[in-house]
Amino acid sequence: MATLDATARRTSALPLVLLVPLLAALVLIARAAGLGDVEVAETFVLIFTSIVIEALPFILLGALVSAGIEVFVPHTWFDRLARAPAALQLPGAALGGMAFPVCECGSVPVARRLIARGMHPAAGIAFMLAAPIVNPVVLFSTWVAYAGRGLGAEMVMGRAVLGVVLAIAAGWALGGERGDEMLRERDEPVHRTGSKPRAFADHLAGDFFFMGRFVVLGGALAALLQTALPQSLVTGVATTPVVGALALMGVAFVLSLCSEADAFVAVSFTPFPIGAQMAFLVFGPVVDAKLALLYGATFRRRFVLRLVTVAVPVTLAGSLWFEALVLR
Amino acid sequence: MIDPLRVARAGVLLVWTTFFVYLRATGEITRYLGPRTYWVVTFGAVVLAASFLAQAAAVRSERPRRVSAATLVGLTVMVMPVVAVLAIPEATLGALAAGRKNAAVAGGAAGAVPDATGRDPSFSEIHFAGGNEEYARALGVTDGTSVSLTGFVTHPPEAPPGTYGLTRFYVSCCAADAIPYTVFVADGAARREDAWLEVTGVLERRGERFVVVPREVREVAPPSDPYLY
């Protein structure tokens, strides 16, 4: 038995031990090959790492909140919450996003935990999608970006209203299943023994590693798209509101920007109508390249595809309505 | 018994903690983020360090977990950004990135009409002044205005004949949202793409843009902070 245990330990530790020299060799080969002088590689690495450096602390923040919910909030609280009608939970959760000042990476682990603990899945989705749009930091940065064009208040109001409407619509359309049917199983269950601080640390690490790898992969995908595709591909279609809005939704997906910064980029898309810029601001925090991987790892049943089928028409209709209202 | 999963996680957490501390301590953070998001690295370093200590303190377990192949791949993915930085430590955004992003600002979005600043106009101010007379007047940008600009050389297709672009990125949160602003320099010389130049001269209106007629052009080392904010 002791021999078997020893063999198992050796088997599991060996790849870990091999990984370090393997990665070191990779670094040495890249340096020897002069990869740092290849501009495409430089651009990719800089955009990739800057996305990850900015996003990982928000994943940590989300994991902190998520672990706190799991370990310190009593079951009875969630039982009471789960008994509330979905019609109440849904808008309440969407508006609750106002109190959670993080961008989209942080809201996913929290929503996952809320659904796992018994919140109605529709409400969990509504919270997850609304929080990165309607939180005060994002709305303030939107106001700052557009105040110079005299549209600060309009853009803030439009973004908040459309964000909440989209979050509720998506929650209602996608959240009809039971929580355990909707969420993917974790490949490594967290130990449920030990003291509360130890359980908190285990849950924090579990969520961080579960979500973090998909943020890294999503950041790589976004960087690849930013490096390979010139944005001039979409400026030719800028003039018509419908095509312009669809084009900027595509750009938002590719760029995968933090919702706290995206308004400063959106305001630079001056060839596009204001409604198309609004579509960029509402769609980007809901569906982008890095989020697509994160959602895929968190939810089952083609969640991303189903979310896109809701988000595109709602965002498009909302942005056209917004443009008509602003230009009236 | 030692729990290999906790050891592996502690290792990755230590790598990221060290990386974040390195970014802050050396000032390398300016390569990746804008000042308004520096705090996320400080926050990340503190929480990651605490998480590392918690994992390290708990590596002895009565029920050690094996590290599955999927977990190993996930852990490897988690350290890839640090590996990428070690492989290409001094990556910068240059002419290629400016070309990919340039069309986004083709129209130029002037902010609020500014007050005259009394200093030389910046890249973005020259860019906006070219397409907006009111903005240019308010800022005092006109034919003959003196400028002193440091940027890298680009050759965008819209460059007027006999000019090249001098470009600088403006960053809001991180390098992914960088927006390039280009001012054209009419010195008639062939300049190497991505070379950093310090150009002093005067502005001259040509159609809907101002170009710089240089008095002096000097090749310089890239600045420690490559972005403007």
**Is any Cβ of chain A less than 8 angstroms from the Cβ of B76?**
yes
Q: Are residues B42 and B110 in the same domain?
A: no
pLDDT in tens, A185-229: 765 555 555 688 888 888 888 888 988 888 888 888 888 888 887
CB pairs under 8 A between A and B: 233
pLDDT exceeds 90 at position A160: yes
DSSP of B148-176:
EEEEEEE--TTPPTT-EEEEEEE-SSBGG
Which is more confidently placed, A264 or B100? B100
Q: Are A290 and A172 in contact (CB under 8 A)?
A: no
Q: Are residues B107 and B42 in the same domain?
A: no
Q: Are residues B118 and B197 in the same domain?
A: yes
Please provide the average confidence, as pLDDT, over all residues in chain A: 83
pLDDT in tens, B53-101: 998 888 887 777 777 888 888 899 999 999 999 999 989 999 999 988 7
Q: What pLDDT, on the 0 to 100 scale, is given for residue B113?
A: 55
- Residue where one domain finishes, among candidates B87, B103, B125: B87
Q: Are residues B80 and B41 in the same domain?
A: yes
- Residue where one domain finishes, among candidates B87, B116, B143: B87
The residue of chain B with its CA nearest to that of A51 is: B176
What A86-91 contacts at long range (C-beta under 8 Å, 24+ apart), as own/partner pairs, is A86/A120, A86/A122, A86/A123, A86/A175, A89/A119, A89/A120, A89/A122, A89/A123, A90/A120, A90/A122, A90/A123, A90/A126, A90/A168, A90/A171, A90/A172, A90/A175, A91/A126, A91/A164, A91/A168
pLDDT in tens, A294-328: 898 888 878 899 999 999 999 999 999 999 988 76
Q: Are residues B54 and B101 in the same domain?
A: no
Q: Are residues B214 and B157 in the same domain?
A: yes
Residue B219: CATH number of its domain? 2.40.50.200
**Is any Cβ of chain B less than 8 angstroms from the Cβ of A8?**
yes
A95-99, A185-189, A264-268: which has the minimum mean pLDDT? A185-189
Q: Are residues B165 and B188 in the same domain?
A: yes
Q: Quote the ipTM score.
A: 0.91
Q: What is the mean pLDDT of residues B163-169?
A: 94
Q: Are residues B223 and B121 in the same domain?
A: yes
For B140: left if phi > 0, alpha if psi spans -120 to 50, otherwise beta; the answer is: left
- Structurally, chain B folds into a number of domains equal to 2
Label the pairing between strands B179-185 and B209-219.
parallel
DSSP of A127-151:
HHHHHHHHSHHHHHHHHHHHHTTT-
- A13 CA to centre of own chain: 33
Q: What is the mean pLDDT of residues B181-206?
A: 93
Q: Are residues B113 and B211 in the same domain?
A: yes
Label the pairing between strands B146-154 and B227-228.
unpaired
Q: Are residues B208 and B117 in the same domain?
A: yes
Do B92 and A57 lie within an 8 Å CB cutoff? Answer: no
Whole-structure pTM over 0.90, yes or no? no
Q: What pLDDT, on the 0 to 100 scale, is given for residue A145?
A: 76
The whole-angstrom separation of Cα A157 and Cα B180 is: 29
**Is any Cβ of chain A less than 8 angstroms from the Cβ of B25?**
no
The whole-angstrom separation of Cα B144 and Cα B122 is: 15
**Is any Cβ of chain B less than 8 angstroms from the Cβ of A205?**
yes
H or E stretch at A291: helix A289-298
pLDDT exceeds 50 at position B43: yes
Instruction: Domain of residue B66: give its range.
Output: 4-87
pLDDT exceeds 70 at position A13: no
Q: Are residues B122 and B72 in the same domain?
A: no
Q: Are A186 and B70 in contact (CB under 8 A)?
A: no
**Is any Cβ of chain A less than 8 angstroms from the Cβ of B94?**
yes
- Residue where one domain finishes, among candidates B87, B115, B140: B87
pLDDT exceeds 70 at position A87: yes
Do A198 and B54 lie within an 8 Å CB cutoff? Answer: yes
Residue A260 tokens read as 């706290």
Q: Are residues B116 and B58 in the same domain?
A: no
